[in-house]
Amino acid sequence: MSLPALLTQHIARRPQRIALLQHVAEQGSITRAAKAAGISYKAAWDAIDELNNLAAQPLVERSTGGRGGGGARLSPEGERVLRLYQRLQALQTELLEAAEHSSDLDLLGRLMLRTSARNQLQGQVSGLRREGRYDQVSLALGGGLEIQALITLDSTERLGLTLGSTVVALLKAGWVHLLGTHEAPEPGSNCMAATIDEVLAGNPGPSEVRLVLGNGQTLCAFAEAGWLAERGVGAGSAVRVQFHPSFVLLGVPA
């Protein structure tokens, strides 16, 4: 089984994040892997969440508890991805030698898109429905989860979307809202059950809430500390999240 195309492109474009997998394999914990990579614990988990969401199966498995944030290890899929990364490293020298001019690789780097959206979920187009000047695109995320995106007809055509197309759904953390037990979701919005994995205090500002969906993919949202305290919501709590289909941005391999 080949790696998803989007993950393969991510390996080529963001090698420093894949290299983090090697540190996890060597160190056996996120805290030590982050230190070895010279990044913060939070940055390490953001990178791992993104990789796990893009992969067909989670690449890193974490065991909670213990000092230093608990242990972590690569899943069999993660080990396979790491082997691929190591093979790509071996080809790096050949790539550098193949460049005709020193500026060639800089040009390629500028052509590669990076996004500020915290949430990136891989899915497949499972439905396309025309609604006036827009298309409602259904995306199957795996594990029985499905979300809706609302994009223009021009965007559907420009991205070449058809049933079965593999896409990445981009969603800014500020567009993801937590719902209280008795709060009804807004009509037409995406609404999914999730479990809070971690709450990072804003100090000052809203807290960052890391959420795990039923299929193992993750989302990041923001919530006021008072809202969380009033409802007794914290790590391990079951919640619901909502976001409007028009907030879901879609991307496909170039």
Domain chopping of the chain, boundaries: 5-111, 119-170+247-251, 173-245
Cα-to-chain-centroid distance, residue 99 = 32
Per-residue pLDDT of the chain (254 residues; tens, 9 = 90+): 455 555 555 555 556 777 888 899 999 988 899 999 888 888 888 888 888 888 878 889 876 654 445 588 899 988 988 888 777 666 665 655 666 665 665 555 444 445 667 888 889 999 999 989 999 999 999 889 999 999 999 899 989 999 999 898 999 999 999 998 788 999 999 999 999 999 988 778 899 999 999 999 999 999 999 999 999 999 999 999 999 999 999 988 65
Q: Which CATH class is domain 5-111?
A: mainly alpha
Q: Which CATH class is domain 119-170+247-251?
A: mainly beta
Q: Which CATH class is domain 173-245?
A: mainly beta
Per-residue confidence (pLDDT) for residue 65, from 0 to 100: 56
Per-residue confidence (pLDDT) for residue 173, from 0 to 100: 92
Per-residue confidence (pLDDT) for residue 252, from 0 to 100: 83
Cis omega (within 30 of 0) on the bond before 206?
no
Per-residue confidence (pLDDT) for residue 247, from 0 to 100: 94
Task: Tell me the two tokens of residue 193.
Answer: 């059950």
Of 34, 66, 61, nearest in space to 212 by CA: 61
Per-residue confidence (pLDDT) for residue 1, from 0 to 100: 40
Q: What global pTM score does this model have?
A: 0.64
Q: Which residues pair with 134 in a beta bridge?
A: 131, 152
Per-residue confidence (pLDDT) for residue 100, from 0 to 100: 62
| Same fold? 119-170+247-251, 173-245 | yes
Per-residue confidence (pLDDT) for residue 7, from 0 to 100: 53
Per-residue confidence (pLDDT) for residue 19, from 0 to 100: 80
Per-residue confidence (pLDDT) for residue 104, from 0 to 100: 62
Per-residue confidence (pLDDT) for residue 48, from 0 to 100: 87
